[in-house]
């Protein structure tokens, strides 16, 4: 899989140099994740070499595609981050990012709060709530972020309704997909267009060692999201915004 040193070397080969302090933050992240995971279900992956590859390295792939994540003081909202992926590894590697995480489970938010204090992270905030409410028409968070991310949360047509309302016009929604069928992207076209987005990139990566396929789907927010979206909590998942099939 991937040892911490191999993790560092793989990133260096991509032009991302981690300091000793950053490497220690990743080490502390791993230790705390595994400790808390014994009594709070955060991840099924707990072997160190797997966590470094399938969580830490995997979380940094968007910044290998969208290069300004590495250098600009962008506001980033991570929807349904779970144990902090991809936004916390990105924040460790690229402290320039201002990170907001929203997750529907309070126990995960508590873990992330404690984690950020342990790691000494600044300009991070955590919100317990449903994405549909967090992005609602009266929410101060609506259409306010440069970048919105989501990793393996739901189908792209559903994710778009969670995430695009949070992106500012001119901002981006970046979906991390382990595998993406052409059908899923095709099914999401109607939702993306309805919510004010435009597909600009579908970059394919292969994880080192395992050669697992990763898709980084970048959608630009080209106009405001109609106020009727997102629909009430639970509706996007039950009735995705997909064009009726003939």
**What mean pLDDT is predicted for residues 90-103?**
98
Q: Is 132 annotated as a binding residue?
A: yes
Half-sphere exposure of 77 (CA within 13 A, CB side): 24
pLDDT at 183: 80
d(CA 114, CA 152): 24
**What mean pLDDT is predicted for residues 105-110?**
95
Domain tally, the chain: 1
Give the closest residue to 217 by CA, choosing from 237, 200, 195, 192. 200
Domain ranges, residue 38: 4-228
Mean pLDDT, rounded, of the chain: 95
Q: Are 32 and 84 in contact (CB under 8 A)?
A: no
**What mean pLDDT is predicted for residues 13-38?**
98
Cα 181 to chain centroid distance, Å, stands at 19
Cβ neighbours for 49, distance < 8 A, ≥ 6 positions apart: 1, 2, 3
| 239 belongs to a structural domain | no
152 falls in which pLDDT band (50, 70, 90)? confident
d(CA 58, CA 64): 10
246 falls in which pLDDT band (50, 70, 90)? low
| 246 belongs to a structural domain | no
pLDDT at 62: 97
| 233 belongs to a structural domain | no
Which pair of tokens denotes residue 65? 């595609």
- Indicate which CATH number applies to the domain containing 140: 3.40.50.150
Q: Would you put residue 93 in left (φ > 0), alpha (ψ -120 to 50) or beta?
A: alpha
Q: Is the pLDDT confidence value at 227 over 80?
A: yes
Residue 167's alpha-carbon distances to 75, 222, 239, in angstroms, are 10, 10, 22
Q: Is 131 annotated as a binding residue?
A: yes
Which pair of tokens denotes residue 110? 């508590």
Cα 121 to chain centroid distance, Å, stands at 17
d(CA 237, CA 167): 20
Q: Is the pLDDT confidence value at 181 over 80?
A: no
Q: Are 192 and 211 in contact (CB under 8 A)?
A: no
d(CA 153, CA 94): 23
Q: Is the pLDDT confidence value at 2 over 90?
A: yes
| 179 belongs to a structural domain | yes
Strands 124-128 and 98-103: parallel
- Give the predicted TM-score (pTM) of the model: 0.96
| 75 belongs to a structural domain | yes
Half-sphere exposure of 60 (CA within 13 A, CB side): 26
| 38 belongs to a structural domain | yes
Q: Are 172 and 148 in contact (CB under 8 A)?
A: yes
Q: Are 7 and 48 in contact (CB under 8 A)?
A: no
pLDDT digits (tens, 9 = 90+) for 48-94: 999 999 999 999 999 999 999 999 999 999 999 999 999 999 999 99
pLDDT digits (tens, 9 = 90+) for 187-200: 999 999 999 999 99
| 243 belongs to a structural domain | no
Coil, helix or strand at residue 189: helix
Q: Is 151 annotated as a binding residue?
A: yes
| 236 belongs to a structural domain | no
d(CA 209, CA 215): 17
Q: Is the pLDDT confidence value at 245 over 90?
A: no
């Amino acid at each position: 899989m991937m040892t911490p040193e191999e993790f560092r070397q793989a990133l260096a080969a991509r032009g991302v140099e981690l300091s000793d302090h950053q490497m220690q933050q990743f080490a502390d992240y791993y230790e705390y994740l595994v400790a808390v995971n014994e009594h709070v279900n955060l991840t099924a992956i707990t072997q160190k070499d797997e966590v470094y590859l399938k969580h830490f390295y995997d979380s940094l792939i968007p910044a290998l595609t969208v290069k300004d994540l590495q250098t600009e003081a962008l506001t980033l909202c991570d929807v349904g981050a779970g144990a902090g992926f991809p936004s916390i590894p990105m924040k460790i590697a690229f402290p320039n990012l201002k990170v907001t995480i929203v997750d529907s489970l309070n126990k995960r938010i508590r873990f992330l709060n404690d984690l950020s204090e342990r790691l000494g992270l600044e300009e991070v905030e955590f919100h317990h709530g449903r994405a549909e409410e967090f992005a609602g028409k009266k929410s101060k968070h609506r259409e306010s972020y440069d970048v919105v991310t989501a990793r393996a949360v739901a189908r792209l047509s559903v994710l778009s309704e969670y995430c695009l309302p949070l992106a500012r016009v001119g901002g981006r929604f970046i979906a991390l997909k382990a595998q993406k069928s052409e059908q899923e992207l095709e099914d999401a076209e109607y939702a993306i267009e309805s919510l004010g987005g435009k597909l600009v990139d579908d970059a394919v990566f292969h994880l080192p060692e395992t050669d697992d396929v990763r898709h980084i789907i970048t959608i630009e927010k080209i106009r405001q999201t109609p106020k009727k979206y997102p629909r009430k909590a639970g509706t996007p998942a039950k009735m995705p915004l997909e064009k009726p099939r003939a």
